[in-house]
Amino acid sequence: MKITRIKIGAGSCGIAAGATEVVDYFKKEVRDIPIVEVGCIGHCYAEPLIEVETDKGSVFYEKVLPKKEHLDRILGLKDEGRLAIRSQRSEREKIKVLALAGRIDMTSMDEYLANGGYEGLKKALAMKPADIVEEVKMSGLRGRGGGGFPTGMKWSFLAAKEAKEKILICNADEGDPGAFMDRSLMESVPHQVLEGMLIGALATGATKLFIYCRAEYPLAIRNLKIAIEQIYKHGLNKLNARTVEFRLKEGAGAFVCGEETAMIHSLEGKRGTPRFRPPYPTDSGYHGHPTAINNVETFGNVPLILREGGKAFASVGTQGSKGTKLFALAGDVKYPGLAEVPMGVTIGDIVYEVGGAEKGSVKAVQIGGPSGGCIPADKFDAVVDYDSLKSLGAIMGSGGLIVIGNDRCMVETARYFLEFTARESCGKCTFCRIGTKRMLEKLEKITGGRGTEEDVAFLADLGPKIIKGSLCGLGQTAPNPVISTLRYFRHEYDAHTKDHKCPALQCNQLSDVKIHLDKCIKCGLCIKTCPVHAISKEFVVDNAICTRCNSCIEVCPKKTISRVEKGTGYYGKSGGN
Amino acid sequence: MSITITIDKKPFAAEKGETILQVAERNGISIPTLCFNQKITKTTSCFVCLVKDAKTGRFVPSCAMEVADGMQIESDTPEVWDMRKTALNLMLSEHSGDCEAPCTIACPAHAQVEEYVREGKKGNLLEALKLIKERIPLPMSIGRVCPRFCEKECRRNVVDKEPVAINDFKRLAADMHYDSYMEEMKPFTGKKVAIVGAGPAGLSVAYFLRLNGVASDLYDKMPQPGGMLRYGIPEYRLPKGILDKEIAHFAKMGGIAIHCNKELGKDLAIEDLQKKYDAVAITVGSWKSSAAGVEGEELAVGGIQYLEKIALAGWKGDNPGKTIVIGGGNTAMDCLRTSVRLGSKEVTCFYRRTEAEMPAEKIEIHEAKEEGVKFEFLVAPVKLRKENGRLVLTSQRMTLGEPDASGRRKPVPVPNSDFDTVADTVIAAIGQKTIAPKGVKANKWGDVEVSKENCRMEGSIYAAGDCVSGPATVVEAVAGARRTALAILAQIESKEFKEPYLLNVSRGKWQSLKTDDLVFLKDPIERKRTPQRLIPEHDRVTTFKEVSLTYTQAEITKEGERCIECSCTAKGDCSLKKHSETYTAKPDAMVGEKPNFGYDVRHPEIILDRGKCIKCGVCVKVCGEVVNQNLLGFKFRGFGTHVDTAFSQPLPSQLCRDCGKCIGECPVGALDWKLKK
Ligand SMILES: Cc1cc2nc3c(=O)[nH]c(=O)nc-3n(C[C@H](O)[C@H](O)[C@H](O)COP(=O)(O)OP(=O)(O)OC[C@H]3O[C@@H](n4cnc5c(N)ncnc54)[C@H](O)[C@@H]3O)c2cc1C
Ligand SMILES: Cc1cc2nc3c(=O)[nH]c(=O)nc-3n(C[C@H](O)[C@H](O)[C@H](O)COP(=O)(O)O)c2cc1C
Ligand code: SF4
Ligand code: SF4
Ligand code: SF4
Ligand code: SF4
Ligand code: SF4
Ligand code: FES
Ligand code: FES
């Protein structure tokens, strides 16, 4: 086997794991083999990740360090350190949108072209705009930004408008905590997203193409800028008789600016707050011009539709949801990362087979981020599909999928998400601005051990009203995490309020810390670690001093320290109750 | 007209492009709005204008949602009301302000205190009197004897621990203008009401009925009207000449006839009154001294009987000799100080708890001490007997135990602590009870039993004053009398009597506030309370001359400048208050943190009080879209959102003084002129 090229995953996830140092080291040490920086292939848990191309196919190495030992291992194509892509995972996944992500040089247009890039655009250039729209309609593609609105339909509205200026915006604000599908696409295959936008411009007659990307994505912005320059250089922005231009706007990071009318306001230089619709942006958007907004992943799908045809695209998926969906898999799984699955796989497949979570260790997933809801483990045979997720009280969302292990408290989980939305509310509507705050206060009271049944009733009453009385999707979905945990995990709320217990022992006010002395080897690590000196020489935790920081639990080599029910730990004389 | 929609199942024609609100308003369907304003583009932020689209099942803001053919709108269902009410409750939960000044709220009669204090300060005492008399028909008397509920809650206390001398504004206003003032009254309706008891309650029922065109006959068992004002409260606190002048005004109003020496149950029967009049009001007060329950009690005289006798004699009487008054209330104080004035050199108060628990007004205790009254605390009577022509009171020492139902610590006897005291007069002033005349229903305390909702005993018989509440105060009697008069009016007009719900958002009681918690339109003036001038000490202990003097007009102006004008600048003009009252939204329905973004009074004439801002965004758009200045904008997000000026600079003084457009459109009192009218 002969090594032809070494590809180092240097997307944000790779960089976070130390890829920059690996790149520098490899470039310094290796002279005769080309080394390229690629994006993310989705196996983020294995970063820094290296793909070694040989004349007989590729070999992957995981968790590579800038060390001679690792370098030798790779150059020698040794078995040690290889990434084994588990068959359970590859059987569930269907890599389409991500096919080139992490496989080609992030900044090379040539490589994109060499791998079928811009074939979709080429086809589209030869088609009538209406036929492009028709093709997209036929594909059944629905918006990947969360709402799931049929993309072809949205484009047909914009196409139908007679106007001097028409705007097409790529929504790259990606504000949900934990989501990074869009970032990954823009970093790894910027041309694929831009090609989708150019096809959109052809289909709708859009004259200006905006990308609204959050400023926290510097690598995505850099790669997009490079790609746009390359497009200009190649003249790919000449769409038959006319020329379109891209404009890249860096957003200040407000979650609500992902909402389309807020985004338009922000692009206009105004405060990023949503406004009432109708009029819809396709009637009156950016500075009054007809405007359509699509998500990064939506655009990322478009070149595939044109290349393979709408019908072929629609062959994957369920009745109402076609194609594949990217998920940012996080939480209590063995293999967090980016996954691409066909619509119609079950939640269980993603959690257990792709994520590698152990059966029985998980009690729910939160899908759709802070706007979504939880799905309990006994409903994991639900399939990934816009409508069936909705019927369970969750949403497809943009693709955040957080796996919640048994040792997490669902009330605390709900509180965590609501804290995010309450903070991110634009502050305009009464229900959203004040209502989420009032709900958050009650959740804090409950997790703080002071909650009552009335507080739970308050949440159940106000939540649906906030949904009904809010202007935009933020307020209309903010109570979802609370409502869905109330629906499936009411017993956990009741345990907090009626029995003053946190079943998961996560809520600090409702749990104590205890060293189980029978297994303790008296190594003293816990005593040294405890920042508030709550552990005595006799290895007893004084819960009156302990701040429940978990440091000792994490450091104990024998795993003999744990949280226990409030009141069953030791309390010294120095305070506490 | 091309489109038809239904609102509450009724079809209406509509034009394309119209909003649901426009169609509703055109057809007389009222929908509340706060952030909607025709001068600017839609803000759609308050969501009190919600209606339900029955077809989609969704709630939509009617101010922004355009009509579509076949739309079915629900605007009057319990669900819609609940959503609007919830929106209002949420807004109130973060609202800080004072719809009304705390003094006005504290006054049982809810007289417009801040307003009459302001008029007094400006020297418009006639205007002040007019405001006072809207709620208080007896300002000369109340201006002298009111225990000053209002001053106990006065916010000025936060600044320098001394309230504004509110009651003295009443006294001066009444003393100055009583002869000339006459209220506007409605023409007679031909209806007539009988009122039994011509004390403060009876007179006030007559007054409020007369204002509304209803005549009355007052009957009283005593030779002269006034009730306790005449036969209880001593001359040195309320000269009877003043009382005569006050009561004379009722005759001047016309339609109010007072018949004395007529006792219900003796000279009159309730059935006859009921037949003869459109309604009957029972206002007979609480005239029976409570029993002490000790042996030999009959040798003592009851507190009010003692005063009544002296009153009937024109505040003259024999020297009572060595006097002991049992009790610690206001009646006891009056008995003590009256005894001093009759020439007794040894007057002692026996009270079973300590000074701190005494129900009497502090000022009364203080003045009694000044006049030489002695106090024995923690003693209780055991037995009274006569020995050698003098009285011997056996008492025992007490100590304070656990708190009782009233929250005060209960006195318990110290064993074997009995002691004897010799006296010439022993007065038991330990409370009064109502004597319900024949035909009047009494409850277990002996007071007249009336419905809480409408003050009605039964049929057309109503009651008010002490005989309903038990012994209370003049101003409370007046307040209850007003309610009763309005309830009688409603019955006469065959309407249901319902007290309107009045929203009052409050920043809280002064006791729990610091200066930083308050909003000052301007810096409070540094000045202590104007002291009350009293007659010389010698006159106080030898005559029944009125002890305190009326403030001068100059003193009232100085005192008025101490008022920090607590109520909302938007009083009477606040849409949040209006809608909250319609939807019975309450400030404490959804308690939680209230943001404190402070206030801005840097502009000489404009205040931005962020605690009252509902973040409707109207001002921002008015300044931007109408005035083209963009001087206002929102800052921060979520619960931290608030209005601020551009770069937090003061509003330009000339430009905004001349403009003021945002102020005119602010639906609440958040942006307002500082000057109160
Ligand atoms: C000594 C004393 C001092 C007080 N000091 C103060 C004070 O400083 N400030 C304050 O606010 N309050 C004070 N009060 C309380 C106050 O006087 C009463 O709360 C107030 O007068 C109650 O008004 P009223 O009209 O309900 O009753 P009253 O004033 O008692 O009037 C009742 C009237 O009904 C008449 N009446 C009774 N029975 C009959 C009948 N069967 N037929 C016909 N007529 C009848 C009586 O003659 C009397 O005129 C004092 C009370 C007393 C006793
Ligand atoms: C509060 C809020 C935040 C949103 N954030 C995003 C986002 O970060 N990215 C995105 O694509 N869509 C986001 N959306 C959805 C967009 O409003 C819009 O529906 C979407 O961009 C349309 O594109 P699509 O049809 O391709 O999904 C958000 C919506 C709301 C209400
Ligand atoms: S629902 Fe929330 S985020 Fe959306 S416009 Fe209203 S206040 Fe702003
Ligand atoms: S703004 Fe309205 S609700 Fe607020 S204090 Fe003033 S009057 Fe009351
Ligand atoms: S300061 Fe003035 S307005 Fe405020 S409570 Fe006192 S008298 Fe009333
Ligand atoms: S008064 Fe000043 S801030 Fe208000 S609208 Fe006019 S210019 Fe703007
Ligand atoms: S200050 Fe402005 S935003 Fe606040 S309530 Fe008044 S008009 Fe509305
Ligand atoms: S949202 Fe319609 S009036 Fe405020
Ligand atoms: S409290 Fe208002 S008159 Fe006395």
Express each pLDDT in B626-659 by its tens digit.
999 999 999 999 999 999 999 999 999 999 999 9
Nearest CB to A469; choose among B47, B614, B617: B47
Q: Which helix (H) or strand (E) holds A170?
A: strand A167-172
Nearest CB to B64; choose among A276, A435, A462: A276
- What is residue B530's DSSP assignment? P
Q: Would you call the peptide bond into A48 cis, given omega within 30 degrees of 0 as the criterion?
A: yes
Which of B48, B60, B90 to probe by mutation at the A interface, max A CB count within 10 Å? B90
Where do you find CATH 1.20.1440.230 in chain A? Answer: 410-497
Q: Find the DSSP H helices in B493-624.
A: 537-542, 553-560, 575-582, 618-621
Chains A, B: CB contacts within 8 A come to 98
A455 part of contact set with chain B, CB < 8 Å: no
Question: Alpha carbon of B645 to those of A6, A160, B45, B630: distances in Å?
Answer: 57, 42, 20, 9
CA–CA separation, A284 vs A278, rounded Å? Answer: 9
Determine contact, residues B332/B326, Cβ cutoff 8 Å. yes
For ligand 3, atom 4, name the residue with the nearest CA.
A472
Which residue shows structure tokens 């169609």?
A: B23
pLDDT in tens, B590-605: 999 999 999 999 999 9
Where do you find CATH 3.30.70.20 in chain A? Answer: 511-565
Nearest CB to B86; choose among A275, A427, A465: A465
Averaged pLDDT, B395-412: 90
Q: Per the CB < 8 Å rule, is B637 touching A256?
A: yes
pLDDT at A574 over 70: no
Determine contact, residues B349/B375, Cβ cutoff 8 Å. yes
First to last CA, chain B: 46
B294 part of contact set with chain A, CB < 8 Å: no
Query: Could you tell me the sign of the dihedral formed by the alpha carbons of B259, B265, B269, B271, in that order?
Result: positive
Q: What does B27-70 look like in DSSP terms, one character per residue?
A: TT-----SS--TTS-----S--SEEEETTTTEEEETTTPBP-TT
Averaged pLDDT, A501-522: 95
Hey, what are B368's tokens? 């009694």
pLDDT at A576 over 60: no
pLDDT at A408 over 90: yes
Question: Alpha carbon of A396 to those of A180, A327, A344, A466, B428: distances in Å?
Answer: 15, 10, 12, 20, 82
Determine contact, residues B579/B585, Cβ cutoff 8 Å. yes
Where do you find CATH 3.10.20.600 in chain A? Answer: 324-405
- The pLDDT assigned to A577 comes to 42
- What is residue A352's DSSP assignment? I
High-pLDDT (> 90) share of chain B, %: 95
Nearest CB to B634; choose among A256, A271, A275: A271
B169 lines ligand 9 (CB under 6 A): no
CA–CA separation, A421 vs B333, rounded Å? Answer: 63
Where do the DSSP E strands lie in A336-398?
A: 337-342, 362-367, 373-376
Helix, strand or coil, per DSSP, at residue A520:
coil
A482 part of contact set with chain B, CB < 8 Å: no
Instruction: Please state the CATH superfamily assignment of the domain spanning residues A3-85 in this structure.
Output: Glutaredoxin (3.40.30.10)
- The pLDDT assigned to B342 comes to 97
Hey, what are B425's tokens? 């007069």
Bridge partners, residue B411, by sequence: B400
Burial A375-409 (b: 16+ CB within 10 A, else e): bbbebbebbbbbebbeebbbbbbbbbbbbbeeebb
CA–CA separation, B238 vs B338, rounded Å? Answer: 13
Q: What does A81-141 look like in DSSP terms, one character per residue?
A: TB----HHHHHH---STTTTTTTSBTT-HHHHHHTTTTHHHHHHHTS-HHHHHHHHHHHT-
Q: Which helix (H) or strand (E) holds A475?
A: helix A473-477
Instruction: Just give the CATH number of A109-313.
Output: 3.40.50.11540
Computed over every residue of chain B, the mean pLDDT equals 96
Task: Show the 3-state SS of B363-431.
Answer: HHHHHHHHCCCEEEECEEEEEEEEECCEEEEEEEEEEEEEECCCCCEEEEECCCCCEEEEECEEEECCC
Neighbours of A194 (CB within 10 A): 29
High-pLDDT (> 70) share of chain B, %: 100
Q: What does A408-463 look like in DSSP terms, one character per residue?
A: S-HHHHHHHHHHHHHHH--S-SHIIIIIHHHHHHHHHHHHTT---HHHHHHHHHHH
pLDDT at A331 over 50: yes
Q: Per the CB < 8 Å rule, is A276 touching B42?
A: yes
CB half-sphere exposure, B299, CA atoms < 13 A:
20
Q: Which residue of B has its CA nearest to A461?
A: B86
Confidence of residue B273 (pLDDT cuts 50, 70, 90): very high
Confidence of residue A253 (pLDDT cuts 50, 70, 90): confident
Averaged pLDDT, A273-288: 97
Angle, alpha carbons B301-B303-B304 (nearest 5°): 115
Q: Per the CB < 8 Å rule, is A427 touching B636?
A: yes
B116 lines ligand 9 (CB under 6 A): no
CA–CA separation, B328 vs B349, rounded Å? Answer: 7
Helix, strand or coil, per DSSP, at residue B657:
helix
pLDDT in tens, B76-130: 999 999 999 999 999 999 999 999 999 999 999 999 999 999 999 999 999 999 9
CA–CA separation, B426 vs B394, rounded Å? Answer: 12
Angle, alpha carbons B619-B620-B624 (nearest 5°): 110
Averaged pLDDT, B382-392: 95
- The pLDDT assigned to B293 comes to 85
Determine contact, residues A541/A535, Cβ cutoff 8 Å. yes
Bridge partners, residue A329, by sequence: A337, A401
Q: For residue B46, count CB atoms less than 10 angstroms from its CB and return exposed for 0-12, middle for 13-18, buried for 19 or more.
A: buried
- The CATH number corresponding to A410-497 among 1.20.1440.230, 1.10.1020.10, 1.20.1250.20, 3.20.20.30 equals 1.20.1440.230
How distant is the Cα of A433 from the closest Cα of chain B, in angstroms? Answer: 5
Computed over every residue of chain A, the mean pLDDT equals 96
Bridge partners, residue B58, by sequence: B53
CA–CA separation, B219 vs B263, rounded Å? Answer: 7
> Could you tell me the fold of the domain covering A511-565?
Alpha-Beta Plaits (3.30.70)
Determine contact, residues B275/B190, Cβ cutoff 8 Å. no
Q: Per the CB < 8 Å rule, is A428 touching B45?
A: yes
- What is residue A235's DSSP assignment? T
CA–CA separation, A313 vs A326, rounded Å? Answer: 15
CA–CA separation, A320 vs A396, rounded Å? Answer: 13
Ligand 5 site: residues with CB under 6 angstroms? Answer: B 101-103, 113-114, 117, 154-156, 164, 166, 563-566
Question: What is the layout of strands, in order, in the sheet containing B58-61?
Answer: B10-14, B3-7, B72-74, B50-53, B58-61
Averaged pLDDT, B215-222: 98
Bridge partners, residue A60, by sequence: A51
Architecture in CATH for domain A324-405: Roll (3.10)
